[in-house]
Amino acid sequence: MVLVPDGLDKVWRAQRLLLRQRYDECIEICSALLDKNPYDQAVWYLKCRALTMKNYLDDTEIEDEGVAEVLLDDNAIAKLPRPGTSLARPLTGAKSGGASQGVRPVSSSGRPLTGFARPGTMTRPGTQSTDVRGAFAGNRPGTSRPVTGSDRFVRLGTASMLSEPGGPFIAVEKLDLRKYAARPALARVLCDYVIYHDHNPKKSLELCAIATQLAEYKDWWWKARLGKSYYQLGLLREAERQFQSALKNSDMVSVTLELCKCYVRLDQPNTCLDAYARAGTNHPDEPQLELGKARIHDAVNDMAQSVTCYKRVLSIDSSNVEAIACLGAHHFYTDQPEVALRFFRRLLQMGVSSTELWNNVGLSCFYASQYDMCLSCMEKALALANDENMADAWFNIGTIGIGIGDLGLAYQSLKIAVSIEAKHAESFNNLGVLELRKGNVDQARANFQTAASLVPHLFEPFFNGALLAFKLGDFQESFELCTKSLDAYEDHSDSHELLKQLKQHFSTC
C-alpha cells in the first residue's frame, strides 16, 4: 500500500510516480482515487497511461514470424522471385560480397550466420525448408516448440488481465467510441491502452477510424495507429496505405520503421530499402534507419552493403551492440580475426557478457594466435553457458584442439558437445573426421549419417559421407550424398569434382 503523506495532493503524487516509471504504485493510488470518484478524468488518464506503459512493447523492432505466417504466407508477390528481390531467395555466390559457404557457416535457414541473433534471422525458412516439419521444428535446442506468432499478443493480454484485481479497468466493448473520439487527449490514451494493454486491434481500429475522420484526415498520429491496428490484424496492404498517408502528413521515423516492417512481411526487401533511403534524407542521423537497412541487406545476403550500413550505424551510435557484433562476425569470417577481436572486446567493455561473446573472443584470440588468452576465454564461456549454448562452446574447444594438433582434446570436447546436445550436427561431423583419421571407417560413416540426418543445410556431412562412400566403392550412396551436398552448397568445387568422377563411372562401359 502506497502511503501518501497528508497535505500532499494524491493526483500530483500519482503524476510524479508515472513520470518516474513506478507504474504499480501509480496504479494503486489511481485505483483508490477512482473508487471514490469514478468520473475523475485526470485520474482516469493517469491510470490508463500507467497501465499502457506497464505493458508497452517496442513494436518498431522486428519480430518472430509464427508457424501460421510461415506456412500460410499468401503475401508473396512472385512464386519464383529473382535472386536478391525476395527474402526467401537471397543473393548467392560472388555477388553477395561476403565470405563463401565454405568459410562462413550457415544457419538453419540456409543463410550465412549473422553476428547477432535477432528474431527473424533464424526462423524464416529459405527456399528449401518451407514444409510443416521445418516450421514446427523450433530452432532452440531442447524444445520442439515453435513461435506461434501473433499469439504472443494474446498471451500477454491474458497475463495482464489476470494480474488485475477486480476485473478489467476499462470495458472497451461497452464504450461509446464515438463519444471518446471527440476528445482528442483522452482518445489517444484510450487508443494506446486498447492496443498495448488489451491487444484488441479490432476495437482500436474502430476508434482510430472515427478519430481520423473527425480530424479531417490530417492527423498523422491517428493514421499511424490505424496502420498499426491493420498490421496487427494481418491486413498488410491497408496498413501500408495508412502509414504512407501518415508519412505524407508528417515525416516520422517510427512510422517509417513500421512501414518497413510491413514490407518485410510482404517480402519486398527492395521497396523496404527505398523507404529507408527516403526517410534517411530527412533524418540523416537516425541509427534505427541505418540499422534497418543493414538488416535487410543482411537478409538478402548482400554482405558488402550491410557492412557499410553497420559502419554508418556505429558512426552515429558508437555503442550499438547489434552493429558491433555483426561487424565483428564479418571481420572474423573474412580472415581478420585481430579486427574482430577489437569489436568483441568493445562489447565486453560495454558490459555485455554472455557465453556467445566469450566464445567469440576465444575463437578470435585463437585465430589471431593469442593462445594464452583463448582457453581462458573459452572457460569463461563455459562458466556462463546454459543448456542451449554449452554444446557450441564445447564444439569450438574441439576446433581449437584440432588447430593446436591436440586431437585427444578435440575428440573429448566433441564427445561432450554431443552428450550435452544430442542434435549437434557439426560436432558429429567433426567426430566423424576424427574417427576416420583413427581408421574407424564404420564409426565415421555412422557419424556422418547422423550429422546429415540432423541438418540438411550443412554440406560438410554430405560431402564427407559421399567421399567416404566413393572410396569404399559404394557409388550409389556416394552419388546421392554428393547431390545433396550440392543442394546445400551449389558452388562447392570438390563436390562438383566428385560428381564428375561418379558420372564418368556411370557412363563408361
Q: Which one, 64 or 494, has the nearer CB to another protein? A: 494
Complex with another protein: residue 314 or 486, whichever CB lies closer: 486
**One residue of 28, 317, 480, 487 binding another protein per CB under 8 A:** 480
507 binds another protein per the rule CB under 8 A: yes
String marking each residue 346-385 x if it binds another protein according to CB under 8 A: ---------------------x-x-x--------------
What minimum distance in Å lies between the beta carbon of 430 and another protein?
A: 10
Eight-class DSSP state of 112 = B
What the block records as the C-alpha cell of 152 is: 504472443
Of the residues 184, 474, 487, 501, which one makes contact with another protein according to CB under 8 A: 474
Considering only 170-178, 240-248, 303-311, 471-479, which stretch makes contact with another protein by CB under 8 A? 471-479
Is the C-alpha dihedral spanning 176, 178, 179, 180 positive or negative?
positive
Among candidate residues 361, 316, 332, 322, the one with its CA nearest the CA of residue 119 = 322
What whole-number distance in Å separates Cα of residue 167 and Cα of residue 418?
50
Q: Which is nearer to another protein, 201 or 398 (CB)?
A: 398
- In residues, how long is the chain? 509
Cell of 466: 559421399
290: nearest Cα among 272, 310, 274, 304:
310
Task: List Cβ neighbours of 235 (8 Å cut-off, separation of 6 or more).
Answer: none
C-alpha cell at position 300: 538478402
439-468 core/surface letters (b: 16 or more CB in 10 A; e: else): eeeeebbebbbbbbebbbbbbbbbbbbbbb
C-beta of 219: minimal distance to another protein in Å?
A: 57
479 binds another protein, rule: CB under 8 A: yes
- Under the binding rule (CB under 8 A), the answer on residue 403 touching another protein is yes
Quote the CA–CA distance of 331 and 99 in Å, as a whole number.
Answer: 10
- Residue 154 binds another protein (CB under 8 A): no
List, in sequence order, every residue forming a beta bridge with 106; answer none if it has no partner: 112
Question: What is the closest distance, in whole angstroms, from the C-beta atom of residue 477 to another protein in the complex?
Answer: 8
- Using an 8 Å Cβ cutoff, are 128 and 341 in contact? no
List the x/- string, 420-459, binding to another protein by CB under 8 A. Answer: -------------x---x----------------------
Sequence-ordered strand ranges (E) for 421-474: none
**Site for another protein contains 405 (CB under 8 A):** yes
Compute the distance between CA of residue 52 and CA of residue 30 in angstroms, rounded to an integer: 14
Smallest gap from Cβ 94 to another protein, in A, equals 9
Q: Which residue has the cell 498520429?
A: 221
Nearer to another protein, 248 or 505 (CB): 505
Which stretches within 405-492 are classed as H helix?
Answer: 407-420, 425-438, 441-454, 460-472, 475-488
Q: What is the smallest separation between the CB atom of 363 and another protein, expressed in angstroms?
A: 11
User: Can you tell me which residue has the cell 471527440?
Assistant: 182
- Compute the least distance from the CB of residue 508 to another protein, in Å: 7
- 506 scored as a contact of another protein (CB under 8 A): yes
As to burial, measured by CB atoms within 10 angstroms (0-12 exposed, 13-18 middle, 19+ buried), residue 165 is: exposed
Q: Count the site residues for another protein by CB under 8 A.
A: 36
Shortest separation between residue 142's beta carbon and another protein, angstroms: 29
Among positions 57, 103, 277, 304, the unique one binding another protein when judged by CB under 8 A: 103
Smallest distance from another protein to CB 441, Å: 13
Q: 496 Cβ partners below 8 Å, 6+ apart? A: 486
**Taking CB under 8 A as the rule, does residue 493 contact another protein?**
yes
Q: Quick one: which segment of 47-55, 106-114, 210-218, 470-478 binds another protein (CB under 8 A)?
A: 470-478
Which residues share a beta bridge with 89?
86
Query: Which positions from 334 through 353 interact with another protein, judged by CB under 8 A?
Result: 335
Which stretch, 59-67, 79-87, 191-199, 475-483, contacts another protein (CB under 8 A)?
475-483
Q: Which residues bind another protein (CB under 8 A)?
A: 100, 102-103, 335, 367, 369, 371, 399, 402-407, 433, 437, 469, 472-477, 479-480, 483, 492-494, 502-503, 505-509
